[in-house]
Structure 1
Amino acid sequence: MEVKLQQSELSSEIGRLLRKHFGKGPEAVFVTIASPYVIIYLRHFLSPIENMLLEDNHTMTVEEIRDKMMRKLNDKIKEMIHSVTGLPIKEFYYDWTFQNGSGLLVGVEEKTERFFEYNYPNRREIETIIAKISAEAEKHPDITYSHMLNDRTLIIIREGILVRIEEQLIELGFEEALTLAKRKLEKNLLFQAKPSFQQLLQKEIQEIFVNWDFTLDKSVIVFILAPQKNNGQ
């Protein structure tokens, strides 16, 4: 099956799965398959109950509910990606931007080699800023690398970012609280650096998503970039 057909089929399957478990599915699901990555971008994905909680400033409650649900769906989504694409997904990440009603799911194939075909201008400068942000939030990553998967999707990988106190919190069972705290802190720092990223990329950043795999001591950051405007528009 060609990639466009796989992307279309996976979009439909993910939409149905989320609708079944959340009561309301996303209005739009955009899938990018670029081995070793599968990026699933969700638009307008908020249930009426979630909207009500967010209006009453219960953002943390919505995050906790979403995280609990996604932990139950992780394996199903990885199996679904494998069934449609044939890619054996080893890692899975997710994040939300509630003010936009959007979300992102990321599957990473079980491969270790680097993919230089996803290179892009000013890559090293982008990675340097990311490493500095990481150092401010926790510590300088052992490894930082990034790939421009298409004209709207930049993925940045960090490995070796946990400090000892975070490792201890995870061991004591505070993984969920740590995720919520790190998500808020790192997103604030990433948004502060947004003008610098945009200048280097020569593109507007529409959304920023971030998540971690504490077992692997690894993090994924994804920038969703604005579409290029055609001349005359």
Structure 2
Amino acid sequence: MDQEKNIQSDLASHVARLLREAFGKGPQSVYVSIRRPFIVFYLRGLLSPTEKVLFEQDQVFFIQQTRDLLMKSLIPEVRAYISLLAGMQIREFYYDWGLHNHSGVFVGIESYEDDPGLFNQEMYFGKEELHLEIASISQHVQKLPEEIYSCMLNERTLLVIRNGILISIEKELIRLGYDEKLKLAKRNLEKGHLHNNNHFHRILNTKVIDVFADWDFELDKSVFVFMLNPTQ
């Protein structure tokens, strides 16, 4: 247990330093949750002075586009640190920002032989109803996912994964090279539904303090991360 905490602490320190060098201001805190094959970094207090001005001027898309460019160089370094310190070979990497909360999340998924759907055999409070709610949101925005599974990494971190989510017109936009614009649009649309949903607190019987979303268009896959406050 002590070794695991040391690994999480070292990873948090390295990622905080990387972000400080890239953004000019590091996060106030980084929390690392590991439950193989998943690793989640939760970032708090991350908004540079320049971004603060842009955010106040409602230039959210500009901030997101700038961060997307920075992440292209940061992701390989984060993967390398995870491999070095935790021994995890990250196959998939996702990230998202909660600019209104000055927060963010990184999600790594390592190569695994077992069927991740096995996590559906694990139960936590509200799981079945949560999957139904996610399916309903997905159908309203685009279509029913072919598969939904989830994992409660710890009492504060819930990861939901959807497979088979893209509709034909989205696949064509990706083929034509509009994947970055599509991701920006989906962030705005789907996260709007997630943030404006007043059922999650009741379903999970706890306060949801942050919700994040990202997509891997090549894999036709997306992740949601719910950050919870179990004391409320």
1:212 and 2:223 equivalent?
Answer: no
Question: What's the counterpart of residue 121 of structure 1?
Answer: 125
Runs of 4+ aligned structure 1 residues displaced above 4 Å come to none
C-alpha contact 2:208 2:229 (8 A) present in aligned 1? yes
Question: What's the counterpart of residue 204 of structure 2?
Answer: 201
Give 1:157's match in structure 2, choosing from 161, 169, 179: 161
Relative to structure 1, the CA distance from residue 116 to residue 178 in structure 2 (aligned partners, 3 Å threshold; closer, same or farther) is closer
1:30 and 2:31 equivalent?
Answer: yes
Cα distance, 1:198 vs structure 2: 1.2
Cα distance, 1:3 vs structure 2: 1.2
Question: What's the counterpart of residue 99 of structure 2?
Answer: 98
Cα distance, 1:103 vs structure 2: 0.4
Cα distance, 1:75 vs structure 2: 1.6
- Could you report, residue by residue, the CA deviation over 1:2-57 in whole angstroms, capped at 9, with x for unpaired residues? 21111000000101111111111111111111111111000000111111111111
Residue identity matched to 2:78: I
Consecutive unaligned residues of structure 1, counting only runs of 5 or more, are none
Secondary structure in structure 2 of the residue aligned to 1:21: helix
Cα distance, 1:190 vs structure 2: 1.3
Question: What's the counterpart of residue 228 of structure 2?
Answer: 225
Secondary structure in structure 1 of the residue aligned to 2:47: coil
* TM-score normalized with structure 2 length: 0.94
In terms of mean alpha carbon deviation, does 73-82 or 43-52 score higher?
A: 73-82
**% identical aligned pairs:** 43
Relative to structure 1, the CA distance from residue 118 to residue 12 in structure 2 (aligned partners, 3 Å threshold; closer, same or farther) is farther
Cα distance, 1:116 vs structure 2: 5.7
Secondary structure in structure 1 of the residue aligned to 2:5: helix
Q: CA RMSD in A?
A: 1.4
Residue identity matched to 2:139: A
